[in-house]
């Protein structure tokens, strides 16, 4: 089955720790995205990548870092510089372009800072 997997489903972080959220896709999509969702709100773009070894900042990139060493994988690191990391994190992927490039989402990771 083609799709997007995210792990873990729940993640607990102590203050001052970096944590890495995994995102893998087998849809052969070129583009991948990371979003943050706070309770009762919409999604905000953190980072996105349209090609291996290249990525761009989204609207709320501060305190986060990413890598794109393989087409299938786009891990997100939440660094200690992110002051309020408790949120729901969603990864998505799509084909490249503009028109009709629907983004498909993974099941998400809930991050809680202890």
Partner 1 sequence: AQKITQTQPGMFVQEKEAVTLDCTYDTSDQSYGLFWYKQPSSGEMIFLIYQGSYDEQNATEGRYSLNFQKARKSANLVISASQLGDSAMYFCAMSEETSGSRLTFGEGTQLTVNP
What is the binding site for partner 1 (CB under 8 A)?
Answer: 31, 33, 40-45, 48, 50, 58, 88, 90, 92, 94, 96-108, 110
Q: How far is the CB of 52 from partner 1 (least distance, A)?
A: 16
E-state strands within the chain: 4-7, 10-13, 19-25, 31-37, 43-51, 54-57, 64-66, 76-78, 87-94, 104-105, 109-113
Nearer to partner 1, 17 or 28 (CB): 28
Nearer to partner 1, 72 or 80 (CB): 72
Q: How far is the CB of 102 from partner 1 (least distance, A)?
A: 5
Q: How far is CA 69 from CA 40, 45, 80, 109, in A?
A: 33, 20, 23, 21
Nearer to partner 1, 18 or 57 (CB): 57
């Amino acid at each position: 089955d083609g799709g997007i997997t995210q792990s873990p489903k729940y993640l607990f972080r102590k203050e001052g720790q970096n944590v890495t959220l995994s995102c893998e896709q087998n849809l052969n999509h070129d583009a991948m995205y990371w979003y943050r969702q706070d309770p009762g709100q919409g999604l905000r773009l953190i980072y996105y990548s349209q090609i291996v070894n290249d990525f761009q900042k989204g609207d709320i990139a501060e305190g986060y870092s990413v890598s794109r060493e393989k087409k299938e994988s786009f891990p997100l690191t939440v660094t200690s510089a992110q002051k309020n990391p408790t949120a729901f994190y969603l990864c998505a992927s799509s084909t490249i372009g503009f028109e009709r490039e629907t983004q498909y989402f993974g099941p998400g990771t809930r991050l809680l800072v202890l």
